[in-house]
Amino acid sequence: MPAAAPVLDVTREDRRVAALAALGVVIHLAEAGLPSPLPGLKPGLANVVVLAALALHGWRAAAWVSLLRVLAGSLLAGTFLTPTFVLSLSGALAALAALGLVGLLPGRGPGPVGAAVAASLAHMGGQFAVAYALFLPHPALLHLLPVLMSFALAAGVLTGLVALAALRGLERRGLHPLRGPLEADRV
């Protein structure tokens, strides 16, 4: 653990996390206005910022960005502490767990696409599991699972590709340090 910092000493990392989280909320709100085949089913492009945080600053930063987005989003939407919030949070936590796990893969680890796919599938799976266990333990719900997970897979690839493009752009500008996702956590 780093030495305790003065309460108001905001690091550059903090600023980056906050900026990314805010960007995530904006993308999420913009996406909410898009038409979609099933209500509420969106590509989840806001997760690009989580991936960016993961790539730039490591897993803990990504966790902050993700959870901040869930929190800010629910406060803005007025769904804080509702079942919606619970599901949103479950998905986010599951995705973060997946991101942590894939970072443990040997070699260079996954690129943005692989990480996004893992996170997206975990997100949808986590939401579904909580919805099934806590709210609707009806077998008819299970019929939805293949459709939802297929969608999550596609969305993961899409989000990953966007993140990949973004990271390459950053790299060209010399802003992207090439490091593994968990290096930021090694103290």
Eight-state DSSP code of residue 184 = G
Burial class (CB in 10 A: 0-12, 13-18, 19+), 67: middle
Of these, 108, 173, 174, 187, which contacts another protein (CB under 8 A)? 108
CB of 98 to another protein, least distance (A): 9
Q: How far is the CB of 3 from another protein (least distance, A)?
A: 27
Interface with another protein, residue 43, by CB under 8 A: no
Instruction: State yes or no: residue 24 binds another protein (CB under 8 A).
Output: no
Q: Does 77 bind another protein (CB under 8 A)?
A: yes
Question: d(Cα 176, Cα 39) in Å, to the nearest integer?
Answer: 36
Q: Is 23 in the site for another protein (CB under 8 A)?
A: no
- Per residue, the 3-state secondary structure of 97-129, as one string, reads HHHHHHCCCCCCCCCHHHHHHHHHHHHHHHHHH
> Looking at 22, 23, 71, 86, which residue binds another protein (CB under 8 A)?
86
Rounded distance, CA 102 to CA 19, Å? 25
Of the pair 97, 164, the CB lying nearest another protein is at 164
Tell which one of 2, 6, 35, 39 touches another protein (CB under 8 A): 39
Q: How far is the CB of 7 from another protein (least distance, A)?
A: 31
The verdict on 74 binding another protein (CB under 8 A) reads yes
Listed in order, strand segments (DSSP E) in the chain are none
* Residue 174 is a binding residue for another protein (CB under 8 A): no
Q: Which stretch binds another protein (CB under 8 A): 2-10, 16-24, 85-93?
A: 85-93
Per the document, the length of the chain is 187
